[in-house]
C-alpha cells in the first residue's frame, strides 16, 4: 500500500492494518508517537514508536530499519556505545535491504535513500570512534 494511501486511513483502520503486520501502517503508527514540530524531542513516546518500528523492520521494511536506527541514535536514552551500536546495525540493515531491492526501486529514490543510510552509518561510526561492534538491529 502506498504511503499516500496510508495517510488517508482513519486512526482505527491504520491501527488495524498495523496489527495485521502491514509494514507501512506500522511505520505510520510509529510516526504518530513522534512529533517533529511540537517538542524539543523528536519523539514524545519513543518506546511506543520503537515497538512499531521493530515490528515493521522484522517485516522487512528498509525504511523502518533506518527509522529505528535514527530513534536509537537520537531518542532513546543518553549517548552510550550499546545504543549507538544498535543504531549502526539498523542503518546497515537498511542499506543492505535497499541494495537487495535496488532493481525494484526507482533509481533516484534508491540513490537518495542509500545516501541517507550511509550518512547514518558514518555518524554512528564517528560516535563509536570508528569501531564497528557488529551488533544486531533487533
All domains in the chain, ordered by first residue: 3-127 (1.25.40)
Yes or no: say if 133 and 85 are a contact pair by the CB < 8 Å rule: yes
Yes or no: say if 23 and 56 are a contact pair by the CB < 8 Å rule: yes
pLDDT at position 124 is: 95
Q: How far apart are the C-alpha atoms of 53 and 48, rounded to whole Å?
A: 9
Please say if the pLDDT value at position 122 is more than 90.
Answer: yes
Mean pLDDT estimate for the chain: 86
pLDDT at position 9 is: 64
Q: How confident is the model over 91-105, as pLDDT tens digits?
A: 999 999 999 887 766
pLDDT bucket at 106, cuts 50 / 70 / 90 = confident
- Looking up cell 532493481 gives 103
pLDDT at position 87 is: 95
Please say if the pLDDT value at position 119 is more than 50.
Answer: yes
pTM for the whole structure: 0.83
Residue of higher predicted confidence among 82 and 37? 82
Amino acid at each position: 500500500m502506498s504511503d499516500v494511501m496510508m495517510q488517508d486511513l482513519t486512526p482505527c483502520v491504520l491501527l488495524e492494518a498495523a496489527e495485521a503486520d502491514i509494514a507501512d501502517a506500522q511505520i505510520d503508527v510509529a510516526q504518530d508517537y513522534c512529533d517533529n514540530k511540537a517538542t524539543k524531542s523528536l519523539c514524545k513516546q519513543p518506546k511506543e514508536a520503537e515497538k512499531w518500528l521493530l515490528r515493521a523492520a522484522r517485516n522487512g521494511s528498509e525504511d523502518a530499519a533506518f527509522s529505528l536506527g535514527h530513534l536509537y541514535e537520537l531518542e532513546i536514552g543518553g549517548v552510550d556505545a550499546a545504543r549507538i551500536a544498535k543504531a549502526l546495525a539498523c542503518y546497515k540493515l537498511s542499506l543492505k535491504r535497499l541494495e537487495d531491492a535496488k532493481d525494484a526501486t526507482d533509481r533516484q529514490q534508491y540513490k537518495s535513500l542509500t545516501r541517507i543510510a550511509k550518512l547514518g552509518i558514518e555518524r554512528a561510526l564517528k560516535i563509536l570512534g570508528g569501531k564497528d561492534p557488529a551488533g544486531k538491529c533487533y
